[in-house]
Amino acid sequence: MTRLAFIRRALLAFAFIAICGVLAGAQQQGQSATEAKLYNTAKQKLLEGKQVFSFTQSKFDIKDYCERAKHYDYTWFEMQHSTLEFKDIEQMIAACPHASAIPMIRLPDAQEWHIQHATDIGALGVIIPTVDDVDRAREAAKWLRYPPVARRSSGGGQYMSLWGRSYPQTANDNMLLVVMIETPTGVANAYDIASVRGVDVVIIGNYDLSRFSGFPQDDPRYQELVKKVHDDTLRAGKIFGQANARYATGYPLSEDSKFFQNGPSKDGWKPGGANANAPPPGERN
């Protein structure tokens, strides 16, 4: 072997070792990013198999919101059955930006502009009511996350001041899409709905499912509907929940029910001695 050939072979060997080192480092970084805790602490708890509970904010009251937000996993900002506007929620989130409760919004629908507004003001998740078919679920999933997985556009808002300058790179992982099944039609399509890419959680709208089906919640036929949604959701690899927090313990599906509207606080705090599991005034779940 000539001296020149030996040098070339040695250089190729060194280059190969260097590339392997870079790839190993990149793999370790990727693993660290995957294993890193999410700043959406409610989603982190769900991924750990834990239950999460909220309080429902239905009116513009900064002091009330900031006090309650100290004690729960997430805030259920109510825009389906209240007169709250995005500017109201924006101000409340900004008033106590590091609150324990992760801001989430129940929207009246899955329209692009509603979801874009919700995320731009800093919500880390949306709850979409009355999902009867895959079209509504897909529409919600389409607008919640950035490309390449979805079609959320880049715009202004307070999201970066809340969640950091790396937000554009981390937002997709921290978003939470919750869809509500509240009708027999939704029950029939539950597996297809739960299978939609981008849907994270499927929950029962307990009161409305009872109303739409005509079966009381203690009726075995109602329980069969809930069981079907439960089975289909878990089969699709998604998280199951129920709006009514009374189902969090002591019921056949309680162990697998993870996401609730209202319920007990994380630290035992109670809002004025009220029943924590009760739906908010003027609303039933």
At 138 the three-state DSSP class reads helix
Residue 5 pLDDT: 52
Residues 162 and 226 both lie in one domain: yes
pLDDT (mean) for 108-115 = 97
Residue 281 forms part of a structural domain: no
**269 belongs to a structural domain:** no
Instruction: Return the higher-pLDDT residue of 10 and 154.
Output: 154
161 shares its domain with 106: yes
pLDDT of residue 272: 72
Give the CA angle between residues 56, 61, 64 to the nearest 5°: 65
Q: Which has more pLDDT, 8 or 29?
A: 8
> Residue ranges of the alpha helices (H) in the chain?
3-35, 41-47, 62-68, 86-95, 112-120, 134-144, 159-163, 167-174, 184-188, 190-194, 206-213, 220-235
Whether residue 15 is found in the same domain as residue 86 = no
Query: Is the pLDDT confidence value at 9 over 70?
Result: no
Split into its structural domains, the chain has a count of 2
Residues 86 and 184 in one domain: yes
Stretch 56-85: mean pLDDT: 98
Residues 217 and 134 reside in one and the same domain: yes
* Cα 46–Cα 109–Cα 256 angle in degrees, nearest 5: 25
- Asked if 132 contacts 183 with a C-beta cutoff of 8 angstroms, the reply is yes
Evaluate whether residue 244 is within a structural domain.
yes
- 127 by Cβ neighbours in 10 Å (0-12 / 13-18 / 19+) ranks as buried
* Residue 10, domain extent: 1-36
pTM of the model: 0.85
* 44 shares its domain with 31: no
The pLDDT score that the predictor gives to residue 279 is 57
Instruction: Judge if 92 and 28 occupy the same domain.
Output: no
pLDDT per residue as tens digits for the range 193-225: 999 999 999 999 999 999 999 999 999 999 999
pLDDT at 30: 38
The answer to whether residues 28 and 42 belong to one domain is no
